[in-house]
Amino acid sequence: MGKKWVYLFREGDATMRDLLGGKGAGVAEMTRTGVPVPPGFTITTEACNTYYEIGGKFPEGLWEQALEALKDIEAQTGKKFGDPANPLLVAVRSGAKFSMPGMMDTVLNLGLNASTREGLAQLTANPRFAADAYRRFIQLFGKIVLGVEGERFEHVLDEAKGHGQRQDTDLSAEELLQIAETFKQIIKSEAGVDFPEDPQEQLREAIAAVFRSWNGRRARDYRRINKISDSLGTGVNVQAMVFGNMGDDSATGVAFTRNPATGSSEIFGEYLVNAQGEDVVAGVRTPQPISRLEATMPEVYKQFHDIAKQLESHYQDVQDVEFTIERGRLWMLQTRAGKRTAAAAVKIAVDLVSEGVIDKATAVQRVDPHALDQLLHPMIDPEARKDAQALTTGLPASPGAASGKAVFDPDEAEQLAATGEQVILVRVETAPEDFHGMVAAQAILTARGGMTSHAAVVARGMGKPCVAGAGDLRINYAEQLVVVNGTTIRKGDWVTLDGSTGEVFAGQMATVQPELSTDFNELMSWSDEFRTMGVRANADVPHDAEMARSFGAEGIGLCRTEHMFFEGNRIDAVREMIIADTPEERRAALAKIEPLQQGDFEGLFRVMHGLPVTIRTLDPPLHEFLPHDDHEIELLAKKLDADFKKVKSKIDSMHESNPMLGFRGCRLGIIYPEITEMQARAIFKAAVKVKQEGIDVQPEVMIPLVGHVTELKPQEEIVRQVAKEVFAEAGVEVPYMLGTMIELPRAALTADEIAEVAEFFSFGTNDLTQTALGLSRDDSGRFLPLYVERKIMADDPFQTLDQRGVGQLVRIGTERGRNTRANLKVGICGEHGGDPASVIFCHEVGLNYVSCSPFRVPIARLAAAQAALGDSKRDK
Ligand code: PEP
Ligand code: MG
């Protein structure tokens, strides 16, 4: 027998997601555990990949296996594919390993043609239902399989309904048949082929269409944004149809076993009576809350409730399920781990531990560190909200608040966002083809659709605020405006959304950060139990240090002292120091700066209260501090009581073609040792003072941009000499460390020599990436996004560490450094210190700590815990 491309549902299980896709593995597992699932089979993801490899053809044996499996469905349902007397109809659904909601294609009611439609009408004694199913099938088949513009069909339907005068359900069987005929003509003229009457041909073409949808634009966009590999392929699920549109005892819906927005423990979902498959997700009508089902069909509800709970405990996680009720009989169509907001993820993980369902380690691994960003998202400032009157309130579909300019078209949203504008995408409802506009927007507002509509699900996944189903919106695409209860908002007008309450405001509003929940703190404390790597913050001023500590930072990994130079009017003294011609003049200017710097450091030491504080000596090119336009130069000359021409020519003489590779880093302190002297003195005097106040201090002095140990050595001598003097003078000793940034390839490669002098290393992976890749931090914006889009690089290397390249330098630097000094403390303070994948890498290399911006400290704590838990998994 050749390769097995097709699996009956009962042949698969939950572990087979790679091969069967998420949907296929889910229905297989449900079938296996006795949940009522309409019978069917799954064509493997391997078949999809092979289809592409051999140039868009079915792999050998696939079709025969599919026909064989179809017989099994026929046997189980007692119906026959293509038989007018008792026709079997099937759904053909996509389903990749990772859920890609609405990004790929699905065809329903397949198997209908003129004669099976007739048979269905007789069998159900419901000609209207059969005509409607027929109309829907031709429409979907035309659009999805034959590529006819969906609008062409919508237009005909809209016309038949008198442009909103009547509903779908008002159309008679005769009218629907008429529409179906018109649809066939449209297919003929648009696609140049006849609508295929042969059910087998329909099936063949639909399977191929699902394969093709794996490489459709929206699927590719979605994978790029969500970092899903293009090589996974999609499964194709062929399943007996069940109908939610057979009358008022039929319905279709989607539900979560817990609230996916808040995490609260209640079944949460929506359904539509007398509706088919995708109507709920598409947001065509605004659905009913699931609680109503309990009132109207109590027995079915109870069965549904029990199955939902059974699935949740079977998977030990929240499930997102789809179901259909056909004439009072419940069928489950899908189950998968429910996508949730970060707040819900944290609450659910903590709740499942207290319910005894999972352990702490599992809980820590359940929350995506990236998602924590959402919890730290802004809310509307309560002050700004006080007097503000919402224009309207829609559904709170995805939390967080955002302001932006209203835009009604996804392409335009993308274009405006690319120019740096903040936009809010306003749509009647969103469809998968709007995805690129949603990515570009700050937030999304829709007039129609529920909490599980496309807009809601997609926005929640991206962590973007969304208000959905705001029924008061009267959107006019032609005029590019929306009227909301008498207020007109035109394209470009500011609006503010609160995705947590569903409120919509006119104008731009201030936002603030939210308080973190006790569940969040609980999860963080569990993370701390598991992680072995330290987490510090990059903070330059006491306020940021306080923030960092409140997020759990265990020290400061980088204080960029130059950021203090712009405070108040001290920039004048800094400029005086830079313009100075002689060491004496320079010392005089530095003497003015010293007490101010000392004050800064005292503030940091007090806040950090005994935790290590790494202070870096001056790093940036000096002309960054100087004015460049004549007027400002003149003001400076006046202040310095100097000649304008002299000051200007001095400034001009400092121009550099390549400042990032120029006179910066330790080069400054080598040429102007008095700068390092001043900074060292400020650090040690501050340390002595704070220690005398009874507060422990742990200074770590760090020298930047060292490439040769011979650069570090003279800086070390200055720092140690100053320390000795300050301590002798005060009669107080403060233990301190002296170390260096490793941010040049040569430093990493000669780390054994550098560690002779340095007591600690901190990888400056911003510069290390810049220098290792020959990629300017400042000038790569023009092509780097395109590189990522075209997959020339998997990620932006300034966001996520290039592990293959720069990562090797980190590994080599760490190993060689520790060969010389076994107890060498090694950390990272580049932007990568807050990126989960990079944090995991740092753990694997054996770094002592990562340091990142204060708001990313929780992300790093969680990622570090997951890295440590990953170790124990690997050991097993
Ligand atoms: C670095 O280069 O990674 C670093 C932390 O220093 P800066 O970003 O200040 O150059
Ligand atoms: Mg640097």
Instruction: Tell whether ligand 1 has an atom less than 6 A from the beta carbon of residue 830.
Output: yes
Within 10 A of 778 (CB to CB), how many other CB atoms are there? 8
pLDDT digits (tens, 9 = 90+) for 522-577: 999 999 999 999 999 999 889 889 989 999 999 999 999 987 787 667 888 899 99
Instruction: Tell whether ligand 1 has an atom less than 6 A from the beta carbon of residue 766.
Output: yes
Mean pLDDT of 195-212: 96
pLDDT digits (tens, 9 = 90+) for 142-175: 999 999 998 899 999 989 988 878 877 788 999 9
Give 716 or 469, the one with higher predicted confidence.
716
Instruction: Tell whether ligand 1 has an atom less than 6 A from the beta carbon of residue 540.
Output: no
What's the pLDDT score for residue 568? 64
Gap from CA of 547 to ligand 1 centroid (Å): 21
Gap from CA of 766 to ligand 1 centroid (Å): 5
pLDDT digits (tens, 9 = 90+) for 308-317: 999 999 999 9
Gap from CA of 742 to ligand 1 centroid (Å): 10
Ligand 1 atom nearest the C-alpha of 766 is 3
User: Would the annotation count 340 as a binding residue?
Assistant: no
What type of residue is 784? Answer: L
Ligand 1 atom nearest the C-alpha of 765 is 3
Residues 732 and 725: beta-carbon distance below 8 Å: no
Question: Residue of the nearest CA to atom 8 in ligand 1?
Answer: 766
Mean pLDDT of 814-831: 97
Residue 431 has pLDDT above 90, yes or no: no
Question: Residue of the nearest CA to atom 6 in ligand 1?
Answer: 764
**CA–CA separation, 268 and 541 (whole Å):** 45
Residues 285 and 272: beta-carbon distance below 8 Å: yes
Residue 151 burial (10 A CB sphere; 0-12, 13-18, 19+): exposed
Instruction: Tell whether ligand 1 has an atom less than 6 A from the beta carbon of residue 558.
Output: yes
Residue 351 has pLDDT above 80, yes or no: yes
Residue 1 has pLDDT above 80, yes or no: no
Q: Which of 121-125, 176-180, 463-467 has the lowest mean pLDDT?
A: 463-467
Report the run of H or E that residue 512 belongs to, with start and end.
strand 511-512
Within 10 A of 329 (CB to CB), how many other CB atoms are there? 13
User: Would the annotation count 764 as a binding residue?
Assistant: yes
DSSP letters along 82-110, please?
T-TTSEE-EEEEEEESS--TTTS-EEEEE
Gap from CA of 870 to ligand 1 centroid (Å): 29
Over pLDDT 70: what percentage of the chain? Answer: 96
Instruction: Tell whether ligand 1 has an atom less than 6 A from the beta carbon of residue 765.
Output: yes
Catalytic residue, candidates 436, 454, 832, 843: 454
Strands (E), 105-233: 106-110
Question: Residue of the nearest CA to atom 3 in ligand 1?
Answer: 764
Gap from CA of 632 to ligand 1 centroid (Å): 29
What's the pLDDT score for residue 92? 95
Query: First-to-last CA distance in the chain?
Result: 37
pLDDT digits (tens, 9 = 90+) for 20-51: 999 999 999 999 999 999 999 999 999 999 99
Instruction: Tell whether ligand 1 has an atom less than 6 A from the beta carbon of residue 767.
Output: yes
**CA–CA separation, 186 and 807 (whole Å):** 57
Instruction: Tell whether ligand 1 has an atom less than 6 A from the beta carbon of residue 618.
Output: no
Instruction: Tell whether ligand 1 has an atom less than 6 A from the beta carbon of residue 829.
Output: yes
Gap from CA of 774 to ligand 2 centroid (Å): 14
In angstroms, the Cα distances linking 815 to 822, 827, 850 are 9, 13, 17
Return the bridge partners of 490, or none.
Answer: 481
Residue 781 has pLDDT above 70, yes or no: no
pLDDT digits (tens, 9 = 90+) for 604-653: 999 999 999 999 999 998 888 888 889 889 988 998 888 999 999 999 99
Alpha carbons within 13 angstroms on the beta-carbon side of residue 560 total 15
If pLDDT is split at 50, 70 and 90, which confidence band does 461 have? low
If pLDDT is split at 50, 70 and 90, which confidence band does 872 have? low
User: Would the annotation count 767 as a binding residue?
Assistant: yes
Residue 452 has pLDDT above 90, yes or no: no
DSSP state of 426: E
Mean pLDDT of 364-388: 84
Ligand 1 atom nearest the C-alpha of 560 is 9
User: Would the annotation count 17 as a binding residue?
Assistant: no
**Domains within the chain, CATH numbers bracketed:** 1-113+198-241 (3.30.1490.20), 123-197 (1.20.80.30), 245-340 (3.30.470.20), 378-512 (3.50.30.10), 531-621+656-875 (3.20.20.60)
What's the pLDDT score for residue 544? 85
Ligand 1 atom nearest the C-alpha of 831 is 3
Catalytic residue, candidates 48, 829, 842, 852: 829
Gap from CA of 663 to ligand 2 centroid (Å): 13
What's the pLDDT score for residue 459? 78
Instruction: Tell whether ligand 1 has an atom less than 6 A from the beta carbon of residue 626.
Output: no
Ligand 1 atom nearest the C-alpha of 762 is 5
Among residues 623, 768, 757, 659, which one has the least CA distance to residue 701? 757
Ligand 1 atom nearest the C-alpha of 743 is 2
pLDDT digits (tens, 9 = 90+) for 651-672: 999 899 998 899 999 999 999 9
Among residues 140, 139, 173, 179, which one has the least CA distance to residue 159? 179
Q: 């549904």: which residue's tokens?
A: 304
> Average pLDDT, whole number, for the chain?
92
Residues 596 and 570: beta-carbon distance below 8 Å: yes
Reply yes or no on whether 454 is catalytic.
yes
What's the pLDDT score for residue 876? 43
Question: Residue of the nearest CA to atom 1 in ligand 1?
Answer: 764
Instruction: Tell whether ligand 1 has an atom less than 6 A from the beta carbon of residue 743.
Output: yes
Residues 408 and 426: beta-carbon distance below 8 Å: yes
User: Would the annotation count 765 as a binding residue?
Assistant: yes
